[in-house]
Amino acid sequence: MCYLHQSVQYIPIAETLITPNQFIAQAEEKISQCITVPLDPEPQIEQICGPGVDPTFDQLISALGHIASQKPKPLIDSMMLWRKNKSDAASEARVQLQQVCNL
């Protein structure tokens, strides 16, 4: 789970307010799409989250750039925490897989 600094700015986009948590949710979905393509060791990432593929995702990335230009530290902290959590989860999954393979 990702906790954000209270000072993260909300940006109005298409009559909604976005936060880094919304980006994280969208990014998680994009990652899932990339890793669920069966038997494809190299998914076509550009076709999943490249520019113009998903205008909502493009807007989120643009808004995060705007937030980062005004308050970079809270945004960077949030993204780094998300990255660490993903890395920790992957490490745990690797350990569990190794344990199952050694049985």
Please indicate, yes or no, if residue 96 is contained in any of the structural domains: yes
- For residue 42, being part of any structural domain is answered with yes
Whether 37 maps to a domain, the answer reads yes
Q: Where residue 5 falls among pLDDT bands split at 50, 70, 90?
A: very low
**pTM value?**
0.62
The residues that bridge with 48 in the sheet, in sequence order, are none
Strands 16-18 and 11-13: antiparallel
- Residue 2 in any domain: the answer is no
Residue 1 covered by a domain:
no
Task: Say if 4 falls within a structural domain.
Answer: no
Q: Give 29's contacts (C-beta < 8 A, 6+ positions apart).
A: none
In a domain, 5, yes or no: no
- pLDDT surpasses 70 at 1: no
Any domain includes 3: no
Residues 102, 87: Cα–Cα separation, whole Å:
23
List C-alpha distances in Å: 43 to 40, 47, 57, 58, 93: 6, 9, 18, 19, 21
d(CA 8, CA 68): 9
Q: How many domains does the chain have?
A: 1
pLDDT at 55: 92
| Proportion of the chain above pLDDT 90, given as a percent | 8
C-alpha to C-alpha distance for 75 and 47, rounded to whole angstroms = 26
Domain span at residue 45 reads 11-101
